[in-house]
Amino acid sequence: MLSKPMDKNFEELCYSCRTGDMDNVDRLISTGVNVNSVDKFDNSPLFLASLCGHEEVVKLLLQRGAVCDRDRYEGARCIYGALNDAIRDTLLSYDISKAVDVKQPFATHISSIYNEESFFNRDISFRVSNDQLYTAHRFLLCARSTILAGKMAHEWVRNDVILSEVRSDILEIFFKFLYLIPVLHQIEPEQYEELIKLSNEFSIELLPEFLDKARHIADPTDKSRLMSDYQYKFTEVARNQLLVFVNNCIFGSAVDLADKEQLPISLMNCSAYPDILLSVQNRNGSIRIYPCHLAVLSRAEYFKIMFTHNLKEKVEYVKAKHLLGKYGSVIPQLTLPNCEFEVAEIILRYLYADNTDIPWMYAIDVLLVADILLEDRLKTIASTIITQSKEFIQQYNVFDVLYLSWEIGVERLEQFAAKFIAIHLQELYNDPEIKRAIVLSSERISLRQETDTVELVDDIRYYLLRKYSFEPDDVELFENQDDLEYLKQVGYLEYRKDMEIVDDILSRLNLDV
Domains and CATH numbers, the chain: 8-94 (1.25.40.20), 105-237 (3.30.710.10), 255-364 (3.30.710), 397-508 (no CATH)
pLDDT at 8: 85
Cα 114 from Cα 128, distance rounded (Å):
18
Predicted model pTM:
0.77
pLDDT surpassing 60 at residue 72: no
Model confidence pLDDT, tens digit, residues 179-230: 998 888 888 999 999 999 999 999 998 999 999 999 888 887 777 778 877 8
pLDDT surpassing 70 at residue 95: no
pLDDT surpassing 50 at residue 321: no
- Mean pLDDT over 353-363 rounds to 92
- Mean pLDDT over 252-281 rounds to 80
Could you give the percent of the chain with pLDDT greater than 90?
Answer: 42
Pairing of strands 276-281, 160-163: unpaired
- What three-state secondary structure class fits 332? strand
Element at 77 (helix H, strand E): helix 73-81
Contacts of 226 (CB under 8 A, 6+ apart): 210, 213, 214, 217
User: Alpha helices, DSSP H only, in 252-300?
Assistant: 294-297
Model confidence pLDDT, tens digit, residues 46-71: 999 999 999 999 999 988 878 776 54
Q: Which residue has the higher pLDDT, 317 or 101?
A: 317
128 has which bridge partners?
163
Task: Return the minimum-mean-pLDDT range out of 36-45, 311-320, 433-442.
Answer: 311-320
Cα 218 from Cα 270, distance rounded (Å):
47
Spell out the SS3 assignment of 209-228.
HHHHHHCCCCCHHHHHHHHH
Pairing of strands 276-281, 287-292: antiparallel
Cα 277 from Cα 143, distance rounded (Å):
18
pLDDT surpassing 70 at residue 485: yes
pLDDT at 118: 54
pLDDT at 68: 73
Q: Which residue has the higher pLDDT, 364 or 323?
A: 364
Model confidence pLDDT, tens digit, residues 447-471: 445 546 788 999 999 999 988 888 8
Q: Which residue has the higher pLDDT, 309 or 175?
A: 175
pLDDT surpassing 70 at residue 312: no
